[in-house]
Every structure is written in C-alpha cells, then in structure tokens.
C-alpha cells in the first residue's frame, strides 16, 4: 500500500482533480475488471459462474476484483434467500449498467487498433 503523501499518491490526486477520465479509468483498471463486468451483464452473476467464464483468474484475484468493483458501486453483492450455504449473486448497479456499452465500444476500438495493426491518419 502506498503512502498518502508519496509522489505517486499526490500525482494521482492531481490527475483525478484535473480530469474525471483518470478517476473513471482507475475504477475499471485491472486485468480482469472489464471482463468481470461484461460477464455479469451476460448473466454470469455467481462466483462459480464467473470462475468458469474466466478460467485463468485465480479465486483470490476474482474475489479482490469483485470487492473493488463493489467498493466503486459498479456491482452490489446480493444474498440469495433460502439457500444453504447462503448463495451470493453479483448485480450491476445503474452505474455498472451504464458502463457496459462503454466497454463494448472500447472493445470495438481495440479490435480496430490493437497492437500490431497499422494505424492510418
């Protein structure tokens, strides 16, 4: 964990104040978050379903990424009543639902301009 008065922390705070884009990117940055959000939007809303959809992610990383998405109010964790053990499902908030078309657009942009593709001006 980084110190609050470190150069990196100060620079991050400055960038967040200058442009909301930096704050938005920080919320969804991470190797798996965009895939997790998209998977939840497609109905893979339980831990085991996400793990099945993203087999290369470790359970520890999946849990951490879900907690971070929950912290940023992109998803909420909902207990499923009358299940033993208690079942948990992840639901996109309105903020998360608004993010899905943006992720799709970024995906399309990536397909067009992925590393190694020729870019014309």
Indicate the pTM of the whole model.
0.80
Owning domain of residue 85: 30-108
The structural domain count of the chain equals 1
User: Which 8-state DSSP code applies to residue 80?
Assistant: E
- Report in angstroms the alpha-carbon separations of 39 from 43, 54, 58, 60, 78: 7, 9, 16, 18, 16
Q: Give the pLDDT of residue 5.
A: 76
Q: Give the pLDDT of residue 121.
A: 60
- CATH number for the domain harbouring residue 78: 1.10.10.10
Q: Phi first, then psi: what are they for 28, rounded to 5°? A: -110, 5
Segments of the chain scoring below 50 in pLDDT: none
């Amino acid at each position: 964990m980084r110190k609050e008065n470190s150069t990196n922390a100060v620079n991050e705070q400055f960038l967040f104040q200058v442009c909301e884009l930096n704050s938005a990117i920080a919320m969804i940055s991470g190797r798996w978050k965009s895939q997790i959000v998209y998977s939840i939007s497609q109905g893979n809303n339980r831990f085991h379903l996400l793990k099945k959809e993203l087999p290369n992610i470790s359970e520890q990383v999946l849990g951490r990424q879900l907690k971070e998405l929950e912290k940023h109010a992109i998803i909420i964790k909902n207990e499923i009543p009358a299940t033993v053990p208690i079942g948990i499902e992840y639901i996109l908030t309105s903020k998360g639902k608004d993010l899905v078309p943006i992720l799709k657009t970024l995906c399309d942009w990536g397909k067009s301009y992925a590393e190694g593709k020729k870019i014309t001006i």
